[in-house]
Structure 1
Amino acid sequence: MDGNSFENWFKNTLPKPDDNSLIVLHYHSRRLERVPTNASG
């Protein structure tokens, strides 16, 4: 699952939390640019 898929799933799956709710997530940040390789010269 990529970052966009997760974000869409999360927004559409989770109901609106109550004011006193706390949501804790741990996920790795998205890489916006590809890491350069030898072939990208």
Structure 2
Amino acid sequence: MHETSNSSTNIRNLENCNLSDGKQKQVKIERKKMKQAITQE
């Protein structure tokens, strides 16, 4: 289970490297919102 989650995050990191800086910032903001929503629940 841990290995699959690690590989998925690695893939996401690679995808982020291909994104422009502006889009990277958007993605980070979206992830922060998701994390906040998860912690609030």
Instruction: Mark yes or no: TM-score above 0.5.
Output: no
Structure with higher RCO (Cα < 8 A, 6+ apart)? 1
Larger Rg belongs to: 1
TM-score in terms of structure 2 length: 0.34
